[in-house]
Amino acid sequence: MKINSKKDYKFFLEADLKALNIVPSLKNKLTHDIWTFQKKLRKLEYYLNCKCSPLGKLFTVYLRLNLRRKGRKLGFSIPPNVFGPGLSIAHAGTIVVNSNAKIGCNCRIHVCVNIGADINDGSKAPKIGDDCYIGPGVKAYGDIEIGSNVGMGANAVVNKSFGSNLTIAGVPAKIISQVGPLQYRDTSE
């Protein structure tokens, strides 16, 4: 899913805001760096996908540079059109994502994560489903597919495909539980 209209743009922003669990206040608008980064990311996606830039390509170049500057400040290298709505970046810190990766809705991602391409073909990168939790230090790479509702434990090295509704961890990653992040959340309430 990607932003294809003003309605989609607003939906993505609302989903991201909800996922970040922050109140849309003036204080947060001025001080919440991660929310500012995500707004810039979504704005760039909107103008790239809808081709409605008021100044043409010059404006999208400006938006790219603005996003890159904010990303460098926070340690993020996240290209447009990779994450679905409901992105929640937990902390500032190194996050590197290949532009060919595709990650579904409601993803929570932590620091020191690298989602990279296949060693032989740089255009092949992971496809990760909806409602996923990507723990600190996860390295996922190659032409792999991860299903929906998958938790990836801290420092996992994910180099093969996995189904849905699982928790994976280890080096290399293996299934450690048949319970995914949604089930953990449901049992704790």
pLDDT tens, position by position, 147-189: 999 999 999 999 999 999 999 999 999 999 998 888 776 554 4
For residue 53, pLDDT beyond 80: no
Q: What is the mean pLDDT of residues 69-82?
A: 96
Cross-strand bridge partners of residue 89: 109
Q: How far apart are CA 75 and CA 33, in angstroms?
A: 11
Do the Cβ atoms of 169 and 158 come closer than 8 Å? Answer: no
**DSSP-derived pairing of the beta strands 157-158 and 150-152:** unpaired
Q: Of the candidates 176, 162, 89, 84, which has an alpha carbon nearest to the alpha carbon of residue 126?
A: 162
Distance CA 85, CA 135 (A): 19
The C-alpha angle with vertex 19 and arms to 160 and 21, in degrees rounded to 5, equals: 140
Q: Strand 102-103 and strand 113-116: pairing?
A: unpaired
Strand partners, 103: 83, 128
Give CA–CA dist 41/114, Å, rounded. Answer: 18
137 pLDDT more than 70: yes
First to last CA, the chain: 29
- Indicate the helix (H) or strand (E) that contains 14: helix 6-20
Q: Which two tokens stand for residue 48?
A: 């790239």
Residue 189, pLDDT score: 47
Strands 145-146 and 127-128: parallel
The alpha carbon of 53 is separated from its chain's Cα centroid by a whole number of angstroms, namely 24
Q: How many CB atoms lie within 10 A of CB 120?
A: 8
Mean pLDDT confidence for 121-146: 95
Which pLDDT score is estimated for 187?
52
Question: pLDDT by residue (tens digit) across 2-40?
Answer: 999 999 999 999 999 999 998 878 887 778 999 999 999
Name the more confident of 53 and 65. Answer: 65
HSE-up (13 A, CA, CB side) for residue 136: 5
